[in-house]
Structure 1
Amino acid sequence: MKLANKYWKYAFVLPMVVLYLIFFMYPLVQGIIVSFTSWDGLSSVKHFIGLKNYMNLFSDNDFVKSISFTLELTIVLIVIEIVVGLVIAVLLERKIKFNSFFRTAYFFPAVLSGMTVSLIFSQIFQYGIPEVGNGLNIAALKLNPLSNHTGAFIAIAFVMLWQGVALPILLFLAGLMSVPKDIIEAASVDGATSKQIFFKIKLPFLLPTLSIVFILALKAGLLAFDQIVALTYGSVDTQSIGLLLYNDAVSSFRFGYANSMGTLLFIVIIILSLIQIKVSSRYEVRQ
């Protein structure tokens, strides 16, 4: 009986493991294998071509442009999500009037569909902003911001940040609330200022949370797709790696080539995430 009880825990875990293997690991391995072929996604035969797809990537002008755009977008998302998320979380930690309402309001965008939000903002950018510009006679607002590269980049980043900063706020707020109160009180008694308490005590405790936010923002930037499809569909030099991958696979039937992009992107995300975790682990507080 004791032996049977010992293995019950594996029975509860087994369904999740099976689903993970079927819907994540199997497609992942298949995608890596396909990246070494010239498969068109339709034929039953996959011709092995080795590293040719990977070698062709860096001579592909569209791929180079998509890398540049995606990296710029990713850097903006990482920096602003961390800074804005942390600032708002610090403000929400304080006991102010309607605190619960503000916490709910800031998290609300996270529960919305990325495509839905992007389609709404697309209408605002195309029709709302030009109408406001014409009504107020402001030249800078009369044009649709999605009609040029700079405006489109700002618009895409704004939409992704409006929705993407919600979860970092929640994570940072949870991290701030988990900081031991006795340490903060002891520091206050010793004459530490609010600034010193934040940078010397709270921030080191937040480093694990910061690592999570960094990885989430990194993933969101490198895999950006929904917002770009809804707002520009890659026009005015706003084609991300995700959109280029989709076009190559679905529109051009170059599944092998598209999978080589996906595999390379997967490796980059893993490497950057491991580096960031390794660096932050040196400075985080051990409880």
Structure 2
Amino acid sequence: MKSKKKINNRDITLFLFVIPAVALYCMFFIYPIINGLYYSMTDWNGITKKFHFIGLGNYLSIVQDARFRGSFLFTLVYALMLLALVLVISMVLALLLNSKIKYKSAFRAIYFFPAVISMLTAGLIFNEFFYRVLPGIGELFNIEVLKTSILSNPSLAKYGILFVHVWQSVAIPTVLLMAGLQSIPQELIESASLDGANKWQLFKHITLPFVLPVVTVVVVLMFKDGLMLFDYVVGLTQGGPAGATESVALLIYNHGFKEMKFSYGIAESIILCILVCTISFIQIAVNNKKKVY
């Protein structure tokens, strides 16, 4: 009986400690989501106290909105390019920094430096680079495509944003992949090498299966980062030229805070949230089947 009483007292104590966290979670996460779902079905402009319930009207308008479709297509293509580049570059860096090379500590410090700069700051710095430095180089070497800022070119502006984004985003994935590489049993690599396996075979059949859980994390994080693109666009192009780099996140901001279509922007954000969650779940489910334990 005494043992049972002690367990009950412990459970009550733990429950009391959990209550503040659950209350804060409901207050700042669950309630805003429910409230947002409700307001997305109204015509509220974000200011007035009077608004009307319109059901799925905003969602139906979004489906037919050419501006949203263009923004979504740009964001999706951008996210895929970001994912591919960051994954390849971070994997190469992780393999190099995990090997026996000179000045490894110095290289680790150098490649991680961009990660400590805020995204908006990086965007503003490279904005000056693209508008002042790069055109000067183009004039000096008579390179026609560089004589004007690539950020003012609707076809090239996204590549300028992508360059900055990749430059700053490879640090954390590289750290994660390095941790995954260091968890691989060296006995397997040595055994395979003695059996005549080359470097590609070692990477394909040993390295990649063991780091796949880390790759899954990197894929989900980078794809989500690309779909939520906002700071770099604000710092570099403001969505221009001619709306060519207006991401979905920036479109939501413009609708909500500049065009006073607050409920419309909330509906767009809910669609984006559902998309990110769905893609993340699919990626995790597919990659979990290929894990090596």
TM-score normalised by the shorter chain: which range applies? over 0.9
Match 1:274 to one of 277, 281, 285: 281
Amino acid of the structure 1 residue aligned with 2:171? A
Counterpart of 1:55 in structure 2 is: 60
- 2:264 equivalent to 1:257: yes
CA distance in 1 between partners of 2:51 and 2:223 (Å): 33
Match 1:99 to one of 104, 113, 119: 104
Counterpart of 1:221 in structure 2 is: 226
Once the two structures are TM-superposed, the CA of residue 168 in structure 1 deviates from its matched residue by 1.0
Note the residue ranges of structure 2 that are not aligned, 5 or more in a row: 1-5
CA shift digits 1:108-148 (9 cap, x unpaired): 21221000000000000001111122223322221111111
CA gap of 1:73–1:178, structure 2 versus 1, over 3 A, is same
Counterpart of 2:152 in structure 1 is: 147
Moved more, 77-86 or 190-199: 190-199
- 2:290 equivalent to 1:283: yes
Once the two structures are TM-superposed, the CA of residue 245 in structure 1 deviates from its matched residue by 0.4
Counterpart of 1:21 in structure 2 is: 26
Q: Percent identity?
A: 41
Amino acid of the structure 1 residue aligned with 2:211? L
TM-score under structure 1 normalisation?
0.93
- 2:175 equivalent to 1:170: yes
SS of the counterpart of 1:54? helix
Q: Which has the larger radius of gyration?
A: 2
Counterpart of 2:163 in structure 1 is: 158
CA distance in 1 between partners of 2:151 and 2:260 (Å): 29
Aligned length: 286
SS of the counterpart of 1:192? coil
CA gap of 1:104–1:283, structure 2 versus 1, over 3 A, is same
Counterpart of 1:245 in structure 2 is: 252
CA distance in 1 between partners of 2:22 and 2:193 (Å): 48
CA distance in 2 between partners of 1:11 and 1:119 (Å): 47
Once the two structures are TM-superposed, the CA of residue 202 in structure 1 deviates from its matched residue by 1.1
C-alpha RMSD over aligned residues: 1.7
Amino acid of the structure 1 residue aligned with 2:52? H
TM-score under structure 2 normalisation?
0.92
Amino acid of the structure 2 residue aligned with 1:183? L
Match 2:185 to one of 180, 189, 196: 180
Note the residue ranges of structure 1 that are not aligned, 5 or more in a row: none
Once the two structures are TM-superposed, the CA of residue 164 in structure 1 deviates from its matched residue by 1.3
CA gap of 1:186–1:17, structure 2 versus 1, over 3 A, is farther
